Structure 1
Amino acid sequence: MPPSQDMTTALDPGLLDALQHQVAVFARRAEQTRLGGTGQLRNSMDRAAYLLLNRLDQEGPMGVKALAAGMGIDSSTVTRQVAPLVDTGLVKRTSHPEDGRAVVLQLSQRGLARLEEVRASRRRLMVEVTEGWTPEEREAFCTLLTRFNTALSARQSAHTGHAPAESGGAGGTAPGTAPEGESSPAS
């Protein structure tokens, strides 16, 4: 539900302008660097692949429709994005354990190993860019960014009619927060 005009004008327009500007800068920087990590693995896995592999790792094998619903995107988009992951052996298609006619997507051992490499590289990047931050500052930033992503996801869902996307990342959440999101400014 959009904020009322009274609520928007009651808030500090200068602060709102600064916030939207910083979100735009973050989105540009995230896309430029792809938040890909450090070293040889920098920029080595695109955002869509990372989010799909991460979801399969967290949730286990699932069908295209369930994967799409959980990420708040169309099945056709998941099908298109998962094809190269299957081709490169990071994801495998297997029979559904309860219905042999249905196909589920599953993270392969190669996919899990690759995902762990990328996660480690991205962790090093997070350490590097938050050097000098206290643990409390890192946790607060993660909590607020998660909250922001969740609100963006809910807003997008309200406009598209899709269920809100989970925000899911291994190690990407602060204690007591929802998982990180597919619907971040950089997504």
Structure 2
Amino acid sequence: MPSDDELATADMVGTQLMRLVRLLERKHAQYQADHPDAVERATYILLVHLVKDGPQRAGTLAESVHSDPSTISRQVAQLVRLGLVERTADPEDGRATLLAATAEGRRVFEQNRRSRNERIAALVADWDPADRHLFADLLARFTAAFDTEVAAAATRS
């Protein structure tokens, strides 16, 4: 059972995470309003996985993002329409299809990644370098723990 101090700290973290999610959603909505061909965040995450992890089947992609195949199918269709992802035959099983980022998909990913990194770097530019590194390490640790919890909950369902 967590102590009162642990619960108070968890409440502060939870409150700030909710605030951050709302800010991210607002920022994304503004971006989509300014860019009519912008991809939904959930769909963009698929492109990120395909660029970083290489070509893969839709089922593997669904597992990677903890989503169901029907949702993945709809999102992949949008990425294909935009020319960011292509479907190719699986060389190991010609009946199966692999999804792969196109050259345009990789370009869009890199452009978005660079823009994101520049915005974040500007936000923490006046922080002590040790604080920036500590924040990055702690955020990665928290995200990994959260990912583990999500995966465990999915297997219990």
Length-normalised TM-score, structure 1: 0.72
> Aligned-pair distance for 1:138?
2.0
Q: Structure 1's 50 and 94: CA in aligned 2 closer, same or farther, altered over 3 A? A: same
Asked if structure 2 preserves the Cα contact closer than 8 Å seen for 1:90 and 1:112, the reply is yes
Q: Take 1:80 and 1:145, find their aligned partners in 2: how far apart are those partners?
A: 31
Structure 2 unpaired stretches of 5+: none
User: 1:36, 1:122 within 8 Å by CA — same for their partners in 2?
Assistant: no
Structure 2 counterpart of 1:182? none
- Worse-matched range after superposition: 134-143 or 112-121: 134-143
- Runs of 4+ residues deviating >6 angstroms: none
For 1:150, the aligned partner's letter is A
How many aligned residue pairs are there?
Answer: 153
Cα-Cα RMSD: 2.4
Of 134, 144, 153, the match for 1:150: 144
Instruction: Using CA pairs under 8 Å that are at least 6 residues apart, name the structure with larger relative contact order, 1 or 2.
Output: 1
Equivalent residue number for residue 109 of structure 1: 103
Query: Identical aligned pairs, as a percentage?
Result: 33
1:178 corresponds to which residue?
Answer: none
Distance 1:117 1:87, change over 3 A: same
Q: Are 2:135 and 1:141 aligned?
A: yes
Say which of 5, 17, 22 aligns to 1:28: 22
2:73 is aligned to 79
Q: Report the alpha carbon displacement of residue 21 of structure 1 after superposing the two structures with TM.
A: 1.3
2:117 aligns to what?
123
Matches within 5 A, 1:154-169: 154-161=148-155
Q: Which runs of 5+ in 1 are unaligned?
A: 163-187
The letter for the 2-side match of 1:9 is S
